[in-house]
Amino acid sequence: MRIAVIGGDGIGPEVIAEAIKVLRAAVTDGSVETTSYDFGAQRYLRTGEILPASAMAELAAHDAILLGAVGEPRVPSGVLERGLVLRTRFEFDQYVNLRPVRLFPGVGSPLTAVAPIDALVVREGTEGAYIEAGGILRKGSPAEIAMQESINTAFGVGRIVRQAFGYAAVRPRRKLTLVHKTNVLAHAGDLWRRTFEATAAEFPAVTTDYCHVDAALMYMVTQPDLFDVIVTDNLFGDLVTALGAAIAGGIGLAASASISPERTGPSTFEPVHGSAPDIAGKQKADPTAAILSAAMLCDHLGMSAEAARIEQAVAEDLLERQGEWAARSTAEVGDDIAERVAG
Ligand code: IPM
Ligand code: MN
């Protein structure tokens, strides 16, 4: 297991240290090899470059990337997001952005009255509104035109929808909901809907449903158990998973994987949360999202027993903390979970 570690900025390095601690407790045969990279705001401010020329080739020589978070106030918003997070998703063809929305027992949520919540969002990661298609004309003039196009290809939609059916087919409920806005985004929506229906014919055991994204966000709050697996585009997926994190215990618990299923490049595992500069270096961040992301990493590399042990240890820790994790430091939470994993 050759893992490229990009701790990044703010709380990133703190939570990633705990994820690696837990990973080493789960994978005991000494096969976890890590290489640390200092990419992020500090390096950018020092050198003016986001990724050195050799970076992509070096990262590509690893089995997976474990990413903390990037960004800090002195770097203009968007520079590191596009230059590092999105660049690796695009160039390594990490088209499956996988985000569980699962409320663990014992975890508080604004929605405890309507729980259980156990969904999996399969977000397209390489197309849609995210790929900087478009441009600006007549910049700065009153007649300025800004075009931000959403690109949806039969290839890209086809492969993410197929992946989502695959995930739905092996879950107990076997239900897949397409989330889009086909009534208004009629061109893209038509491609998504036709692709979804054609693929459904190949997966007769999976129950299918469709939901407009605005309604889906409301149902996530009022009836979250409507959802099992959700498949959606890049931008809708960003929004749906942000709400998902908020209803399932907060971003301190939300894990994420950007997967390159054909392994044309390494996949990236990262908590959904950002770098939280306000609490950086204080050992106040909850490392659970990073630890659960490490469990997804194990799963991806064929170590499903190790992944299950990490998840189980997290579940036990969450049940015991009863919302009181803040009494422990980031490292203490990592120690406690690692201890449970080691048994
Ligand atoms: C996320 C983040 C990213 C996204 C940003 C950092 C580009 O919000 O992983 O959800 O929008 O995908
Ligand atoms: Mn987001």
Query: Which tens digit of pLDDT belongs to each residue from 16-61?
Result: 999 999 999 999 999 999 999 999 999 999 999 999 999 999 999 9
Question: Do 267 and 65 meet the contact criterion of CB atoms below 8 Å apart?
Answer: yes
Which atom of ligand 1 approaches the CA of 86 most closely?
7
**pTM score:** 0.94
Cα-Cα-Cα-Cα dihedral sign, residues 187, 190, 192, 194:
negative
**What residues flank ligand 1, with Cβ below 6 Å?**
81, 85-86, 238, 272
257-259, strands of its sheet edge to edge: 33-37, 2-8, 64-69, 267-269, 257-259, 96-102, 118-124, 229-232, 175-180, 207-212
Residue 199 C-alpha to ligand 1 middle, in angstroms?
A: 28
Q: What is the DSSP letter of 58?
A: H
Which atom of ligand 1 approaches the CA of 234 most closely?
12
User: What pLDDT band is residue 114 in, cutting at 50, 70 and 90?
Assistant: low
Residue 244 C-alpha to ligand 1 middle, in angstroms?
A: 14
Which atom of ligand 1 approaches the CA of 89 most closely?
12
Q: Tell me the per-residue pLDDT of 161-215, one tens digit each, with 9 for 90 and over.
A: 999 999 999 999 999 999 999 999 999 999 999 999 999 999 999 999 999 999 9
- Residue identifier of the C-alpha nearest atom 5 of ligand 1: 81
Residue 250 C-alpha to ligand 2 middle, in angstroms?
A: 13
The alpha carbon torsion through 305, 205, 212, 190 (nearest 10 deg) reads 110
Q: State residue 113's pLDDT score.
A: 67
Residue 149 C-alpha to ligand 1 middle, in angstroms?
A: 18
Which atom of ligand 1 approaches the CA of 241 most closely?
10
Q: Tell me the per-residue pLDDT of 297-343, one tens digit each, with 9 for 90 and over.
A: 999 999 999 999 999 999 999 999 876 656 899 999 999 999 999 98
Residues 6+ apart with CB under 8 A from 96: 122, 123, 125, 160, 163, 257, 258, 259, 260, 261
Residues written for the chain: 343
Say how far apart CA 266 and CA 278 lie, in whole Å: 31
Which atom of ligand 1 approaches the CA of 238 most closely?
10
User: What pLDDT band is residue 233 in, cutting at 50, 70 and 90?
Assistant: very high
- Residue identifier of the C-alpha nearest atom 3 of ligand 1: 81
Would you call 335 exposed, middle or buried from its count of C-beta atoms within 10 A (0-12, 13-18, 19+)?
middle
C-alpha distances (whole Å) from 211 to each of 47, 149, 192, 201, 296 are 46, 23, 12, 19, 27
% of the chain surpassing 70 pLDDT? 98
% of the chain surpassing 90 pLDDT? 94
- Residue identifier of the C-alpha nearest atom 6 of ligand 1: 81
**Both structure tokens of 116:** 């259980």
- Residue identifier of the C-alpha nearest atom 8 of ligand 1: 238
Residue 239 C-alpha to ligand 2 middle, in angstroms?
A: 7
> For residue 295, how many other CB atoms are within 10 A of its CB?
29
Mean pLDDT of 61-65: 98
Instruction: Choose the residue to mutate in 70, 81, 127, 239 for probing ligand 1, maximizing ligand atoms within 8 Å of C-beta.
Output: 81
